[in-house]
Homo-oligomer: A and B are copies of this chain.
């Protein structure tokens, strides 16, 4: 049986083995692009009729009977189906996510420079946004909160959810979370057809200007295709955690955190980086012990064995460049100098500090967003936030004196670039 990968930074083949870990191909790339192209064309051409037919085919649901839009009565009924303990936890999560994201609202800036030019920019919300919510077992109410709340904080007027309901099943937790988050419209349609409907609109679903949220290969391919017609967030890949720990860490806790990541997906990746051989051994043993009792061991086991790793480093200083190269979605640091270490890390989606901050706190109730850059994209991307639902308009105003000061340089550059109409539009005002 394959086991997790164990690397030692002091061994001569470490660089080679670490590169293999970095480049492990975790995504099964399905070639669905042609199928997705046809689905998008169908929805653009036939609108609702295409949504009805495709949903009948893929989800075995007759939307002509049930209606595309989820009704107020269904949302009220969902509230009744959710235990109070869960509802209260969702409300706590909602309140904390709201408070965190309120702080992300950007400020406009306007100033007048030494030449008298008035400059600045203004932020405004995107009017209408769509959130893709996966159906079935991956329909997580926490993700509904994390995707929708930044949009409502931004001030989007229409926050629209699309969610597939295979065989008619719709998780009541999703509806309750949507209600708590302030979602305006919910449609029971999924896949590439839902993305096409959001991008181009149908009689029943008015188009939006941006689409966010995770989905399967069809959804990802559809988002890639409609990008430009609408904005999209990142294309989500498989998820990962890196735990940096020294001998102060509790091996049972570390093992539990590695498995919390591994249970998401058989291609999720959990990595421990430590300077303690004893901790490494204890964590490896604890992982096996905890796995045996885990309901989702059929997912977490293969994830750990195929993609899990323990990396031994001579000291935690040596962990810093390795973490940056991994650019993990989630980084936990459980070490004596944890805070100082955290400040030296540059490429990570989110950092969870100290022994009392398991990543699962951040998944649910910390307040920060759990939609984070996966698959090493923390090198260039951020977690979801309020700015993803706003856009900036720059403003420029010259008076005659400012134009007189700047104009000649603009004329020179327009002429140098061979754009005479540019130069003339400035030059004729300088004469006046």
Give the top 6 A-B pairs by smallest Cβ distance, nearest first. A231-B380, A353-B397, A89-B409, A256-B425, A89-B412, A382-B392
Contacts of A300 in B (CB 8 A): 421
The interface size of chain A toward B, counting residues with CB under 8 Å, comes to 124
Cβ of A206 to closest chain B Cβ, rounded Å: 13
With an 8 A cutoff between CB atoms, is A365 at the interface? yes
- Cβ B119 vs Cβ A407 within 8 A: no
**Contact status of A342 and B230, CB under 8 A, knowing A294-B421, A416-B86:** no
The segment from A51-59, A159-167, A258-266 that touches chain B is: A258-266
Please, could you name 15 A-B residue pairs with CB atoms under 8 Å apart, sorted by A? A119-B366, A119-B368, A142-B417, A228-B237, A231-B380, A263-B420, A351-B394, A351-B395, A354-B398, A360-B423, A361-B398, A363-B422, A364-B414, A382-B393, A383-B392
A377 at the interface (CB under 8 A from B): yes
Q: A256-B424, A368-B396 are in contact. List 16 more A-B contacts (CB 8 A).
A: A89-B408, A92-B406, A93-B409, A93-B413, A228-B235, A231-B381, A253-B428, A257-B425, A342-B395, A346-B393, A352-B397, A359-B425, A360-B423, A378-B391, A382-B391, A385-B392
Contacts of A387 in B (CB 8 A): 387
Docked complex Cα distance between A103 and B342 (Å):
27
Residues on the B chain within 8 Å of A252, using CB? 428
Taking the closest CB of chain B, its distance from the CB of A15, in whole angstroms, is 16
Cβ proximity bits A273-290 to B, threshold 8 Å, 1 near / 0 not: 000000000000000001
A14 within 8 A of B: no
A11, CB-defined interface residue at 8 Å: no
A413 to B383 Cα, complex, angstroms: 21
Which residues of A are at the interface with B, using a C-beta cutoff of 8 A?
A: 83, 85-86, 88-90, 92-93, 99-100, 103, 109, 111, 113, 117-119, 121, 124, 126-127, 137, 140-142, 173, 209-210, 224, 227-228, 230-231, 234-235, 237, 250, 252-253, 256-257, 259-260, 262-264, 290, 294-296, 300, 339, 342, 345-369, 372-373, 375, 377-383, 385, 387, 391-400, 402-403, 406-410, 412-414, 416-426, 428-429, 432
A425 touches B259 (CB 8 A): yes
Q: How far is the CA of A359 from the CA of B398 in the complex (A)?
A: 11
- The residue of chain B having its C-beta at the shortest distance from the C-beta of A373 within the complex is B391
Task: Give A367 to B358 CA distance when docked, in angstroms.
Answer: 45
Contact A394 B398 (CB under 8 A): no
Please give the distance in Å from A403's CB to the nearest CB on chain B.
Answer: 4
* In contact, A396 and B365 (Cβ under 8 angstroms): no
A260 proximity list for chain B (CB < 8 A)? 419, 421-422, 424-425
Q: A142-B413, A361-B410 are in contact. Are A380 and B209 (CB under 8 A)?
A: yes
Q: Is the CB of B365 within 8 A of A413?
A: yes
Interface pair B381/A391, CB less than 8 Å apart: yes
CA of A124 to CA of B395, assembled, Å = 27
B363 touching A126, Cβ below 8 Å: no
Q: Which residues of B contact A103 (CB under 8 A)?
A: 109, 111
- Per the bound structure, the CA–CA distance linking A209 and B126 in Å amounts to 27
- Are B426 and A230 in contact (CB-based, < 8 A)? no
Assembled-state Cα–Cα distance A368/B379 (Å):
26
Contact residues in B for A88 (Cβ distance below 8 Å) = 409, 412
